[in-house]
Amino acid sequence: MKPADFTVAVIGVGVAGLVTLKNLLEEGFNAQAFEGRDTIGGVWKFTDGDDHSVLESTVSNKSRYKNSFTDFPYPKDAPAFPTAPQVQEYLEAYAKSFDLLPHIHLQTRATLVKRNEADTKWAVYLHNPDGSETVVEFDKVVICRGEWGIPKMPAVEGRDIFEGKVIHSKAFKRPSDFAGKRVVVLGLGCTAADVATSLVGHASTIHIAHRRGANLLPRFIDGKPGDLALTRRLIDIKYGLSAVSPALSEKFFNTVIQSLTNKAFSLKKEWAIHPPPSFLTHQPTVSDNLASCLSDGTIISTPNIARFTGPSTVQFVDGTAVEADVVICCTGFTRDFSLVPALQPKVADAWSKLPNSDKQSLPRLFQNVFPVAHRDSIAFMNGFSYPTGFMWIADLASMAVAQVWKGTAALPAPAAMNKAIDAHHAWLVGLAEKDTVASDLVHEQSWLQWMHDAAGTGINENLGYGTTGLWHWAREPRLTSMIMGGVESPFVLRLFEGKRKAWEGARQAIVDINEEARAKGHL
């Protein structure tokens, strides 16, 4: 059968949904997308409603040099770190450029996905704009509802006697709503830093409570986007070190990241930001203003919350206490697989017994994408995380899904898939024995290698150190030098001919973005 013979439902049209829809249509599949909101873009579109969204003041933590789709550059006048409205404009332009809008059904929320009675197709239950409910059957489904699932709220002793508000960061929309309030922000990730710093000038007091440190980084280091320091050549060195000694590689890169923090900020011991957790398991906290706010006292760093001891009293684990009107929990989300009950993860005992598993689900997905039982007909784009920009990662993963379903790439046999899943879970358990770890973390090198092979990008061959890679370097020394030592641009994923569609503009886009970065002093 040809791809056009298969109907595919894409659930959600945020970053992952848009690029998945585009890649499926590009390969000839009969694909449609369904989105419960009234606009595309997912969390990047600010909303006052219950849906999770960026803040009005949000700025991307990843530079546009490294976080874009693989065949659609940002406008050249866009800043290195786009604002949320600029990211939203980029996503809308992408959808328009690739004519995706006719295939998208807005204000149409998928409420359930299950096999039909004949077990031949997936029945997708939809809540339509007019309030009606319909069921539409599809041959294949891709779940792209994003990483923002069920808010994780910590259970804090004494909550029943605290008369203030305790909310999740999902409910935090505007800092002006907290004018004059005494606020405790719980967490030290990117969201916590954004929330705490946005409250400056509004809240009367701001405490940021945390149980561990962080790799705190600014967007710019010495006038250059910090993420450009991580070149493809440096990543290859990391992979080489990992092959010889994973512990040595981890220690080396933790030292590199911590040195960047110390170069950018003068951290005080009492802030307890260092020592940080490992870069292997925890993404850096990107904030331009948190350190300066801690330094001038507009934000006060405290240990983790221990309990509530009165109507307005919050006590920390070191025994100190403050008066508070609001506690904002920036404690993340648990992936929500309830849309497909048949595939709801069963938590492995070895994982669930570890305190550091943080009660997260641990789905049995090959490469964190394909369930073994229905590997040819359903895929998840909300089951993996990666330390760099998500746009090109979602692009790559959806290319791979399209090629697998097209028949140009093959999945292992079920037994081999299960063996690989077991090995991946054992790796996660090993990490969780030392520290908390996200259940959707992937093993960077092996995951990328598999995705590139499945998608057919040609990256593994042409940028490797075998005969093909050396031949490419000999033929294209200037371009190869840009790719390896300059901007690690997403456009390289469309440079070489392969299974997925190459982009004829990729070469020029790689040259342009490197020349632009150099002209602006960003390299």
Candidates 352, 401, 404; CA nearest to 380 is: 401
d(CA 152, CA 189): 14
- Give the pLDDT of residue 333: 87
What string of DSSP letters covers 387-410?
Answer: SS-HHHHHHHHHHHHHHHHHTSS-
Taking the domains of the chain in order of start, what are their residue ranges?
3-149+335-346+362-410, 153-331, 461-523
Cβ–Cβ under 8 Å, residues 261 and 216: yes
**Token reading at 394:** 């979602």
Give CA angle at 8 (6, 13), nearest 5°.
Answer: 155
d(CA 431, CA 277): 12
3-state SS class at 497? coil
- Give the pLDDT of residue 359: 74
> Dihedral, CA atoms, 30, 34, 40, 43, nearest 10 degrees?
-130
Residue with tokens 């992936």: 335
Domain 3-149+335-346+362-410 and domain 153-331 have a common topology: yes
Cβ–Cβ under 8 Å, residues 84 and 54: yes
d(CA 73, CA 65): 9
DSSP 385: B
Cβ–Cβ under 8 Å, residues 171 and 53: no
Residue 329 burial (CB count, 10 A):
26
Helix (H) or strand (E) run with residue 206 in it: strand 205-210
| Cα 294 to Cα 100, 181, 213, 287, distances in angstroms | 45, 18, 14, 12
**Token reading at 312:** 């307005």
d(CA 474, CA 480): 9
d(CA 210, CA 302): 7
Cβ–Cβ under 8 Å, residues 95 and 104: yes
- Give the pLDDT of residue 174: 94
Alpha helices (H) along 332-441: 349-352, 390-406, 414-432
Q: Which residues of 210-241 are buried (b: 16+ CB within 10 A; e: fewer)?
A: beebbbbbbbbbeebbbbbebbbeebeebeeb
| Cα 247 to Cα 181, 213, 239, 242, 280, distances in angstroms | 45, 20, 12, 7, 10
Name residues whose C-beta falls within 8 Å of residue 465's C-beta, 6 or more positions apart in sequence.
none
3-state SS class at 244? helix
Q: Write out the CATH class of domain 3-149+335-346+362-410.
A: alpha beta
d(CA 88, CA 55): 13
Length of the chain: 523
What string of DSSP letters covers 108-149?
Answer: -EEEEEEE-TTSSSEEEEEE-TTS-EEEEEESEEEE---S--
Candidates 447, 404, 401; CA nearest to 424 is: 447
> Dihedral, CA atoms, 508, 513, 514, 518, nearest 10 degrees?
140
- Give the pLDDT of residue 146: 66
d(CA 1, CA 241): 45
Cβ–Cβ under 8 Å, residues 295 and 271: no
Query: Is the preceding omega at residue 345 within 30 degrees of 0, hence cis?
Result: no
- Phi-psi label, residue 458: left if phi above 0, alpha if psi -120 to 50, beta otherwise: left
Cβ–Cβ under 8 Å, residues 285 and 189: yes
Tell me the CA end-to-end span of the chain in Å, nearest whole number.
Answer: 48
- Which fold does the domain 153-331 belong to in CATH? FAD/NAD(P)-binding domain (3.50.50)
3-state SS class at 50? coil
Residue 1 burial (CB count, 10 A):
7
Candidates 273, 319, 393; CA nearest to 20 is: 393
Looking only at the bridges linking them, the beta strands covering 300-303 and 205-210 are parallel
Helix (H) or strand (E) run with residue 113 in it: strand 109-115
For every one of its 523 residues, what pLDDT tens digit does the chain have, with 9 covering 90 and above? Answer: 899 999 999 999 999 999 999 999 999 999 999 999 999 999 999 988 777 889 989 999 999 999 999 999 999 999 999 999 999 999 999 999 999 999 999 999 999 999 999 999 999 999 999 999 999 999 999 999 865 578 899 999 999 999 999 999 999 999 999 999 999 999 999 999 999 999 999 999 999 999 999 999 999 999 999 999 989 999 899 888 888 998 988 998 899 899 999 999 999 999 999 999 998 889 999 999 999 999 999 999 999 999 999 999 999 999 999 999 999 999 988 888 889 998 877 767 788 888 888 778 888 999 999 999 999 999 999 888 877 789 999 999 999 999 999 999 999 999 999 999 999 999 999 999 988 888 889 999 999 999 999 999 999 999 988 899 999 999 999 999 999 999 999 999 999 999 999 999 999 999 999 999 999 999 9
CA contacts within 13 A on the Cβ side of 390: 21
- Give the pLDDT of residue 147: 54
